[in-house]
Amino acid sequence: QQPVQSPQAVILREGEDAVINCSSSKALYSVHWYRQKHGEAPVFLMILLKGGEQKGHEKISASFNEKKQQSSLYLTASQLSYSGTYFCGTRGSGGSNYKLTFGKGTLLTVNP
Amino acid sequence: GAVVSQHPSWVICKSGTSVKIECRSLDFQATTMFWYRQFPKQSLMLMATSNEGSKATYEQGVEKDKFLINHASLTLSTLTVTSAHPEDSSFYICSARDPGLAKAQYFGPGTRLLVL
């Protein structure tokens, strides 16, 4: 089942914060976050494994609530370079299949 | 970070011809690679999982005979679109699974296919 991302789109001014959510109807082993700019392939941001971990890289961080089967991506003090479509990819618990199922994406636009 | 290359970056071909796309992991060995297809403003659709030394696993609805996948080595997987038609025009992207603890997937830059 495809994870559900919200919001579908968000517009920010430079310096503002944003939260992107990703929720699944099935138990998850891991959540992967990517950013895709127009005309390019997705770029890996971070991966969160079950166990309820949080991760951060500069001003972009994420959390994974295993019990709620959801993850959130936090972008603080947004920069123009943060613009793009953000996808979460989920891997279900159980089995040895490493394939990811991607959400429909969240389009983030950061304006000056 | 891990680097995945893809070649060619774009290709235009006539209807009925076959097109081969290569995906290489440059600084790590990938026993598993994935092939995706993406239409404009849409999400990534997994086509198949490519496993080194064995047959690919195709997703439901993907024609095995049309999209041939070969994973001949730990750093190379190829996708061949056979007898391409205009409806096969799309953005094809591969990813390679890092065998490390995190099992992260890294995407290649993608190949734009236009079938005339």
Q: What is the pLDDT of residues B49-84, one digit of tens each?
A: 998 888 899 999 999 999 999 998 999 999 999 999
According to the model, what pLDDT value does residue A95 have?
57
Pick the residue from chain B with its C-alpha nearest to A100.
B46
Are the Cβ atoms of A47 and B46 closer than 8 angstroms? no
Are the Cβ atoms of A41 and B42 closer than 8 angstroms? no
Pick the residue from chain A with its C-alpha nearest to B92.
A41
Query: Over the stretch A60-108, which tens digit does the pLDDT of each residue have?
Result: 999 998 888 999 999 999 999 999 999 999 998 765 568 899 999 999 9
Average pLDDT, chain B: 93
Are the Cβ atoms of B49 and A97 closer than 8 angstroms? yes
Are the Cβ atoms of A100 and B93 closer than 8 angstroms? no
CA distance A109 to B16: 40
Are the Cβ atoms of B107 and A44 closer than 8 angstroms? yes
CA distance A73 to A88: 9
According to the model, what pLDDT value does residue A29 have?
87
Dihedral angle at the C-alpha atoms of A75, A76, A77, A78, nearest 10 degrees?
Answer: 0
Residue A56: pLDDT over 80? no
Please report residues of A whose CB lies closer than 8 A to that of B104.
Answer: 32, 44, 47
CA distance A75 to B108: 25
